[in-house]
């Protein structure tokens, strides 16, 4: 069921909106340090 | 008059809780109170000094500096984490596997031990090998958290935002999920804009969880110790020496038990007072709005 126009918890899934870019940027900020640390920890010495 | 039978034996059931609280909280607290008014010269040699340690601590310039840094830090933490937490919670999907995935990803930093968070950021922000440090320097911005006080302070702040904004997000998300669908339908019928829905439906409904989020984040950030200790060790200079680290320096580094005890009590009372002011202000505005 759709909700009022524009509320954030609008369950009209599937559509890519501008605000999702912000969410993706936040997830990059969140996950990059963890990914980088794991990647560094499994890299063999050269 | 109430004629229901009253059995005093019921107090026996509460006794274990009283004992546990007494052993785990009150006795250590009273020990600190005891130390704060005595000069401990040896195991059995103690001199009563009254308020001397309190006066000494309150006139210490290092404490003033640490307190100022702490207040600015906690203020910045609230100013960044609360709006960011609300914004991310508003953007997160509400149904399907995307919702579950987002919740798991958001919760990840909360599952990492505090000293590991410090270690991650210590490596990640290093200007020579760290991804973030090298990236910032390659953009032509001089960045080195080991030598620049501002960079160190900023790194601690960003690390705290990284570590604790997820808590605010999860609280806000729970608050948003509790709003009945009927509110959104009514707003749609009234032709409310997205901003109006946020201002008059979502924000008021999130007020209680936001109160908890603000209180938790304020108290936690005011007591921050492990992450800056691992990341910068309080340096360079005293740039990231916050109150808890200053306390640890006095108590464990210099082993000045009297001043450390006095400072602990002041620290405890400051947190209690500021939290009470926050709580009273927020619940007062809550009541005003309810009228």
Q: Give CA–CA dist B238/B228, Å, rounded.
A: 11
Omega before residue B93 within 30° of 0, cis: no
- CA within 13 Å, CB half, B39: 9
Residue B1 — pLDDT band, cuts 50, 70, 90?
low
Task: Provide the token pair at A32.
Answer: 């990059």
In whole angstroms, how far apart are CA B254 and each of A39, B34, B114, B257?
41, 19, 25, 9
**What per-residue confidence (pLDDT) applies to A14?**
52
Q: How far is A44 from chain B (nearest CA, A)?
A: 15
Is ipTM beyond 0.90?
no
Of all residues in chain A, what percent are helix, strand and coil, respectively (each to 5)?
55, 0, 45
State mean pLDDT over B160-168. 95
Q: Which residues contact B51 (CB under 8 A, 6 or more apart)?
A: B37
Residue B171 — pLDDT band, cuts 50, 70, 90?
very high
Residue with tokens 């210099």: B254
Render pLDDT for B213-268 as a digit per residue (tens, 0 to 9): 998 998 899 889 999 999 888 878 888 889 889 888 888 888 888 899 999 999 88
Chain B residues closer than 8 Å to A30 by CB: 105-106, 108-109, 162, 166
Residue with tokens 């987002």: B102
Question: Which pTM was predicted?
Answer: 0.83
In whole angstroms, how far apart are CA B273 and each of A25, B54, B144, B268?
37, 18, 37, 9
Phi, psi of A15 (to 5 degrees): -85, 135
State mean pLDDT over B276-289. 79
Nearest to B109 by CA among A26, A34, A23: A34
The answer to whether residues B161 and B224 touch, using CB atoms and an 8 Å cutoff, is no
Given a cut of 70, is residue A38 above it in pLDDT?
yes
Render pLDDT for B246-257 as a digit per residue (tens, 0 to 9): 888 888 888 888
A28 contacts chain B (CB < 8 A): no
Q: How far is A38 from chain B (nearest CA, A)?
A: 10
Render pLDDT for B25-74 as a digit per residue (tens, 0 to 9): 888 899 899 999 988 887 788 888 888 899 988 898 888 899 999 999 99
The answer to whether residues B216 and B167 touch, using CB atoms and an 8 Å cutoff, is yes
**What per-residue confidence (pLDDT) applies to A44?**
80
List the single residue in A4, A20, A34 with the smallest CB-CB distance to B192. A4
**What per-residue confidence (pLDDT) applies to B163?**
95
The dihedral of CA B276, B282, B288, B291: what is its sign? negative
Residue A12 — pLDDT band, cuts 50, 70, 90?
very low
List the single residue in A3, A8, A20 with the smallest CB-CB distance to B181. A3
Q: How far is B73 from chain A (nearest CA, A)?
A: 20
Task: Provide the token pair at A18.
Answer: 């501008």
Chain B residues closer than 8 Å to A4 by CB: 184-185, 187-188, 192, 197
A14 contacts chain B (CB < 8 A): no
A23 contacts chain B (CB < 8 A): yes
Render pLDDT for B99-156 as a digit per residue (tens, 0 to 9): 899 999 999 999 999 999 999 999 999 998 889 999 999 999 999 998 899 999 999 9
List the single residue in A9, A22, A33 with the smallest CB-CB distance to B87. A22
Nearest to A9 by CA among B180, B209, B190: B180
- CA within 13 Å, CB half, B43: 0
State mean pLDDT over B156-181. 93
């Amino acid at each position: 069921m759709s909700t009022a126009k524009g509320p954030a918890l609008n369950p009209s899934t599937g559509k890519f909106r501008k605000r999702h870019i912000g969410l993706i940027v936040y997830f990059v900020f969140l996950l990059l340090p963890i990914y980088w640390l794991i990647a560094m920890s499994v890299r063999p010495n050269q | 008059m109430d004629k229901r039978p009253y059995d005093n034996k019921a107090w026996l059931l509460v006794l274990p809780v009283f004992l546990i609280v007494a052993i785990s909280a009150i006795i250590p607290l009273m020990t600190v109170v005891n130390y704060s008014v005595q000069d401990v010269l040896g195991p059995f040699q103690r001199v009563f000094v009254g308020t001397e340690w309190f006066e000494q601590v309150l006139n210490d310039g290092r404490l003033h500096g640490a307190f100022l840094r702490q207040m600015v830090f906690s203020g910045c933490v609230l100013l960044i984490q609360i709006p960011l937490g609300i914004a991310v919670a508003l953007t997160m999907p509400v149904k399907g596997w995307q919702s579950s995935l987002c919740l798991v990803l958001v919760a990840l930093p909360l599952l990492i031990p505090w000293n590991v968070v410090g270690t991650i950021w210590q490596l990640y922000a290093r200007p020579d090998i760290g991804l973030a440090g090298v990236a910032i320097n390659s953009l032509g911005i001089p960045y080195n958290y080991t030598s620049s006080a501002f960079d160190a302070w900023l790194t601690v702040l960003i690390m705290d935002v990284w570590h604790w904004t997820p808590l605010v997000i999860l609280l806000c998300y729970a608050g948003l999920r509790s709003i009945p669908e009927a509110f959104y339908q009514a707003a749609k019928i009234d032709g409310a804009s997205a901003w109006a829905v946020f201002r008059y439906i979502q924000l008021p409904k999130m007020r209680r969880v936001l109160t908890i989020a603000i209180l938790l984040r304020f108290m936690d950030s005011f007591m921050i110790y492990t992450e800056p200790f691992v990341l910068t060790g309080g340096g360079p200079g005293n740039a990231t020496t916050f109150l808890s680290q200053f306390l640890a320096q006095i108590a464990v580094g210099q082993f000045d038990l009297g001043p450390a005890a006095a400072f602990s009590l002041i620290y405890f009372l400051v947190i209690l007072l500021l939290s009470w002011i926050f709580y009273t202000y927020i619940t007062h505005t809550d009541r005003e709005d309810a009228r």
